[in-house]
Amino acid sequence: MSAEKKNLDWGNLGFAYIPTDFSYVCNYKNGAWGEGFLTSDHSLQISECAGIFHYCQEVFEGLKAYTTRDGRIVCFRPDLNAERMYASAQRLCMPPFPIDRFIDAVKTVVKANEAWVPPFGSGATLYVRPFMIATGDVIGVKAATEYQFRILVTPVGPYFKGGDTSVKLTISDFDRAAPRGTGNIKAGLNYAMSLYATEAAHHAGYAENLYLDSQTRTFIEETGGANVLFAAADSSLVVPKSATDSILPSITRRSLIVVARDILGMQVVERAVKFEEVQSGAFEECGLCGTAAVISPVAGIEKPEAGISISFPKAANGAGPIMAKLRKTLTDIQTGEAEGPQGWVVEIN
């Protein structure tokens, strides 16, 4: 049954778009979602007046499909991506794509591109990017009446080439999300407005910005594209919580909390975390979590002009013991090497 794999150098893929055989498309018109279908056309032709171009109605998701040791193709908790995209769409006045149809569409498009799913052990995965845009015309400010839901897939290499790489963060002068704004939904607009700050961080030699809550600039929120975790000296996992609900609900973070608490028997505390605490050395380890890298260890947080220089010596050369254990446990579950909670790993067939 297994399709012949494409002739790619699986071990050396980067994180860049490679068109595959099929994308999935479903259009919304006259108040209803139509039949979804596969297409080999990877471009779109839409009106210059489409809502996406003017008022930025766009939401997206990201998940991965991969091959297990015994040759099955699986993905991880697609139901949570479906639910999150549903909520994101509602927030931007877009018609939510039904949860069950989202999961079916992911299965359909991954199955159709089976030959592009990297083999077990290559470190590479098939990145799955569902997204939705307003295709209907709008000129006055309002929600469009026509939309397209689409899924593209593309094979990608491991996020960090050469394995375990620690990153350094800086504190941005800009904010990522307004209190009670759109920080908790996965929408391109949150990235458009933070690119400037991200480029500034890169230019200064940092991997990412750590954002503080924009209301008080006191509490840890997250980075531009990943949630933050801390390990305390007593080995508990401390997970920052936002007073203004402006942290993106990372599926990796929510899964790691279950792994830590129920599988590793760790104490997990979800609470507001003051940046002051981090500065005072309350935490031994820090990690960034998201689908792409699962956990990236943080070696330090610096802002020389403000006299900020925090280091996490345990992550100087890769993950410290707690982040390493969390990452390994979750990765083993995701790849089918270890048993996880019921329903987390979904087979494509």
Q: By CB under 6 A, name the binding residues for ligand PLP.
A: 62, 186, 222, 225-227, 248, 250-253, 289-291
Instruction: Decide whether 138 or 298 has the Cβ nearer to ligand PLP.
Output: 298
* Minimum distance, C-beta of residue 194 to ligand PLP, in the bound complex (Å): 8
Residues 6+ apart with CB under 8 A from 202: none
Instruction: Decide whether 26 or 128 has the Cβ nearer to ligand PLP.
Output: 128
What is the number of helices (H) and of strands (E) in the chain? 8, 18
* Minimum distance, C-beta of residue 300 to ligand PLP, in the bound complex (Å): 20
Instruction: Decide whether 61 or 146 has the Cβ nearer to ligand PLP.
Output: 61
274 catalytic? Reply is no
- In this structure, are residues 172 and 207 in contact, taking their beta carbons and an 8 Å threshold? no
Give 47-116 as a 3 state SS string: CCCEHHHHHCCEEECCEEEEECCCCCEEEECHHHHHHHHHHHHHHCCCCCCCHHHHHHHHHHHHHHCHHH
* Minimum distance, C-beta of residue 140 to ligand PLP, in the bound complex (Å): 30
Instruction: Decide whether 112 or 128 has the Cβ nearer to ligand PLP.
Output: 128
Instruction: Decide whether 28 or 230 has the Cβ nearer to ligand PLP.
Output: 230
Question: Helix, strand, or coil here: 260?
Answer: helix
175: nearest Cα among 225, 215, 230: 215
* Minimum distance, C-beta of residue 141 to ligand PLP, in the bound complex (Å): 25
Q: What is the DSSP string of 212-248?
A: EPTTTS-BEEEESS-EEEEEETTS-EEEE--TTS-S-
CA distance 126 to 153: 6
* Minimum distance, C-beta of residue 7 to ligand PLP, in the bound complex (Å): 30
Q: What phi, psi does 223 have (nearest 5°)?
A: -95, -175
Catalytic residue among 186, 241, 314, 328: 186
Catalytic positions: 186
